[in-house]
Structure 1
Amino acid sequence: MESSTAGAPATGSKGLKQNAIGFVDALVIGIASTAPAYSLAAVIGLIVLDAGVQAPAVLIASFVPMFFIAAAFYYMNRADPDCGTTFSWVTRTLGPYVGWMGGWAITMTGVLVVGSLADIAARYTFLLIGWDAAAESKWGVIAFAVFLIALMTWVCVVGTEASALLQRVLIFGQVIGLLLFAVVALVKVYTGDAPATSVDPSLSWLSPFAIDSFSILTVGMLTGVFIYWGWESAVNLTEETEDSTSAPGLAGVISTLVLLVTYIVTTVAVVAYAGPGLLEQFADDEGIFSTLASSVLGSPLDKLVVLAILTSALASTQTTILPASRTTLSMARADAMPAVLGKIHPRFYTPHVSTILIGVVATVWYVGVSAFSENFLFDTLTALALMIAFYYALTGIACVIHYRHELRKSVRNLLFIGVAPLIGAVVLGFLWVKATIDYADPETSYSGSAVFGIGLPTVIGIGFLLLGFVLMLVWRFGGHADFFGRRGFEAVDPAVAAGHVTLEEDTAGAGRS
């Protein structure tokens, strides 16, 4: 399903430019989408408050279901390399209604988080150049954040190659800053140059079984869902990546491993250098790294850590737009959303309408929420865990159903395509239910606000899912039988499972090989 004209690149069934990026680019985008420096800075204080020196163990426990779901993404992408990922796969297995909701959840995560990331990038840009007054100005930060959203949206429209090139540059800023900080901090701990609050690292810090209670572990894992989320952006670019049936999924899997190592090394260094008592003061403050940087690195090297947070948030601002826009493109081409969202730019070969729409809606949400309350913006981030756990769990279930006839053919199939994705889905499903219940308590929210006695994180998370359900019904009763008439419960073709042929998605949403 390729098309090309003289002087024009080859395009796939949806009009996206084929082979626009390679494996390394996909890997970089997968890592950058998680915003590792910012994500860790935002949650490390909260995790230490609950788990103490066992914070690294919490991150290891959080990694396990993510790695298992990454395996599900790998195998599902190998069978169906569709830029809609969860939407396409769940539609095939659990039916069009559940598939639509999975696609909606992916799209809404982009809308909810883009503004928050741009906000951090804007604030840290001001701090980097020493403009403290602007960093403390609410409307100054909002104005610059809106500019950054517009800029990153434009980069996404210009082309996937431009997006990948920008990410290659930005990834070095955050990785170098984090690793330099971690190495120097650990050296100072072992040489006795750390503060009096420092503690010597221990292997027991890495054991989830050493955590005092199951409740503490689950609370920490709820937070961990947020900091590992985003690696699947590499898979959303599958139709634009070389070796689309293998490279994007593999990039997603390796991204989770890179994140695990980065998070564990950095967390051990921070806990050891500062000590649990000091870190607890940063339970709701992402400024932990910038505060410690001056002590660990001194001036001017401490600016590298500020640069790491800045580039982390900025990179994720751009890459988070990608999966949302590709998902809406896939949904539009399958007649699950308005056809205009499936348009491809004639020059850049990107879904420009979907991309611009995501940028505009994310901007409106961010400005509206920020103007109302900065704490409300933090509640939005908390609500993300609900959306993430929802569509990740659906993907794990879809993998097991799609490959159900292949599971008994080998021990490898049973473990990696059956057991692992199922465990990941069950764990994340449990966390989704627990988060919904826990976040319903207004005391768990940053703002302390409630709607009909229900905390804002649950109201936002479940509210957006209910909004999607209503919109889905409106679209269904407006016609569109080609999509909603699909039966689901498809099983992978043995030849596709073996990698001999590739299943492709046509514009009506019917699979063929």
Structure 2
Amino acid sequence: MTDEGGLGLKPDALSLPEAVIMGIAGTAPAYSMAATTATLIAVTGILAPASLLICGLVMFGVAFAFLHLTRLDPNAGAAYIWVKQTLHPVLGFFAGWAMLVMSALFMVSGTVPAATAMLQILAPGFVQNMMAVTLVAAFLMILIGLIVLKGIKLSSHFQVILTLIEVGIVAGLIIAALFASFAHPAHALSFGLLLGQDFTPSLFVSGALVAVYFYAGWDVTANLNEETRNPKRSGGVASVLAMLALMLMLIGFSAACLLTLSDDDIQKAGTDIVTTVAARILPAPWSSLAVIAVVLSTIGTLETNILQFTRTLFAMARDGVFARRYARVHAVHQTPWLSTVLVTAIGLGLLLLSSSFSSVSAIMKASASALGFQIAFYYALSCLACAWCLRRGFRSSQILLTGILWPLISALFLFGVAIGSLPTFDGVTLFVSLGSLAFGAVPLLLSRMRSAAKA
């Protein structure tokens, strides 16, 4: 937990509830619902809640892996350090590299929708103005970067406010939809459908390719381990509790969509499905709360994204994988300040290039699809690390189930989803998903050369 100057990240800064809220915010529930629910329903129909339930159970295997690994080593590097120590240093490097790449790419793919949604509320006439969208997106990046730079407590307080409002709106929307559609639902749902009784193998795989990515991001709780009270317990428990809350929200909202909207309504709604559901069941101006929830969700996950990048880079630099200056901690705020400046600068640079050159913009759009492949790769390695680490000496059936078998099944599932997604990618997306990972070989070789020169 120390850098070259003897300072480390701020210990005991986050409580268990704060860590759980960080985990919920990391997945951007409202944003994920808006961006992907219509696609999932288009693929699986009334089995969308079942897809989310099954993939949620798969993600619980990952959450349990993080729980057990956190008990062994509550490290800010999370999967990077666990995979490095348990499987192989090279695999550990690529686990960390995948996280860094995902975070850097999301700085644009996540911020632009937030800027667009903000303009829809504040200045609808500028929504189609690329310059206005870019300026608002840049403002958000700088603002959140400064908040993260100023310390984990400020970041936590800011996140708690955003996420509680977002979750309150989403929960209220789900409950209102259930009551409004009780007498005359647009689609008839049943407990058997929730359990996936009508799934065919091909339909299940198609749904899994979409549903599994709803849950990405909760693992920010692990990157904040060194800043959480009683990290060996709270860090892992926060991951599991965040996953439980997310699964209930995501399944609930997909059911609410099916109960209140027809197939044509869902198809027409597209990425506006959250606001469409709200407009169907709530009178104006209350229906506009849905837009606010999506904006807050995207801003919140931008913060957790920066936190994951900076803590991962901090841990890798502390180990000497990257230049040790990125492990420097601010003397007052106890944050990896140079890492925070770096990721903000990368985000601003990619945003500027994306808005200026169509080829870069196409790559940024492709990165949104490529993120899923990298997420599956990163999570699957963590699951394998847990199963391998606990394979000997376990003393209870609980450890066998939650520490070995469940994570191992989740790893195989995620590797299958990652491989299964490759044929669906176009050339640009394939280049981003595989090329960005392969490019990690360059800093890896440079690190090896530096180590050899010092030896």
Shorter-chain TM-score range: over 0.9
Asked if 1:152 is matched to 2:144, the reply is yes
Within 5 Å, give how 1:263-274 maps onto structure 2.
263-274=250-261
Asked if 1:469 is matched to 2:441, the reply is yes
Other-structure match for 1:134: 126
Other-structure match for 1:109: 102
Determine the C-alpha separation between the residues in 2 that align with 1:18 and 1:344: 13
Is 1:190–1:200's contact at 8 Å kept on the other side of the alignment? no
Within 5 Å, give how 1:59-458 maps onto structure 2.
59-129=52-122, 131-192=123-184, 198-211=186-199, 213-282=200-269, 285-373=270-358, 376-407=363-394, 409-439=395-425, 442=426, 455-458=427-430
Determine the C-alpha separation between the residues in 1 that align with 2:230 and 2:256: 38
* Residue identity opposite 1:147 in structure 2: F
Determine the C-alpha separation between the residues in 2 that align with 1:52 and 1:281: 15
Farther-moved stretch of structure 1 (235-244 vs 137-146): 137-146
Deviations 1:380-426 (A, max 9, x none): 1110011101111110111112122223x221121111101111111
Is 1:47–1:55's contact at 8 Å kept on the other side of the alignment? yes
Deviations 1:118-173 (A, max 9, x none): 212211112223x2111222221111011101110111110000011001100122
> Which has more helix, going by share of residues?
2
Deviations 1:64-87 (A, max 9, x none): 221101100010011011000011
* Residue identity opposite 2:192 in structure 1: S
Determine the C-alpha separation between the residues in 1 that align with 2:452 and 2:35: 43
Is 2:7–2:331's contact at 8 Å kept on the other side of the alignment? no
Determine the C-alpha separation between the residues in 1 that align with 2:151 and 2:210: 33
Determine the C-alpha separation between the residues in 2 that align with 1:375 and 1:45: 22
* Residue identity opposite 1:313 in structure 2: T
Determine the C-alpha separation between the residues in 1 that align with 2:232 and 2:221: 12
Other-structure match for 1:459: 431
* Residue identity opposite 2:325 in structure 1: V
Deviation at 1:475, TM superposition (A): 2.2
Is 2:33–2:274's contact at 8 Å kept on the other side of the alignment? no
Determine the C-alpha separation between the residues in 2 that align with 1:49 and 1:367: 34
Deviations 1:346-370 (A, max 9, x none): 1100001111111211222233234
Determine the C-alpha separation between the residues in 2 that align with 1:481 and 1:188: 69
Calculate percent identity across the aligned residue pairs: 29
Determine the C-alpha separation between the residues in 1 that align with 2:453 and 2:63: 32
Determine the C-alpha separation between the residues in 2 that align with 1:257 and 1:480: 46
Give the 3-state SS of the residue equivalent to 1:68 in structure 2: helix
Determine the C-alpha separation between the residues in 1 that align with 2:6 and 2:16: 21
Determine the C-alpha separation between the residues in 2 that align with 1:148 and 1:301: 25
Give the 3-state SS of the residue equivalent to 2:137 in structure 1: helix
1:478 to 438, 450, 453: 450
TM-score after normalising by structure 1: 0.84
Is 2:52–2:212's contact at 8 Å kept on the other side of the alignment? no
Determine the C-alpha separation between the residues in 2 that align with 1:138 and 1:292: 28
TM-score after normalising by structure 2: 0.95
Deviation at 1:275, TM superposition (A): 2.1
Deviation at 1:471, TM superposition (A): 2.2
Change (3 A) 1:91 1:421: same
Is 1:370–1:377's contact at 8 Å kept on the other side of the alignment? no
Deviation at 1:478, TM superposition (A): 3.1
* Residue identity opposite 1:306 in structure 2: V
Determine the C-alpha separation between the residues in 2 that align with 1:458 and 1:68: 27
Is 1:189–1:200's contact at 8 Å kept on the other side of the alignment? no
Deviation at 1:480, TM superposition (A): 5.3
Deviations 1:195-246 (A, max 9, x none): xxx22332233122322x3222222222223210111101110001100111
Determine the C-alpha separation between the residues in 1 that align with 2:80 and 2:337: 20
Aligned length: 453
Is 1:343–1:351's contact at 8 Å kept on the other side of the alignment? yes
Determine the C-alpha separation between the residues in 1 that align with 2:280 and 2:397: 51
Please list every run of 5 or more consecutive structure 2 residues that lacks an aligned counterpart in the other structure.
none
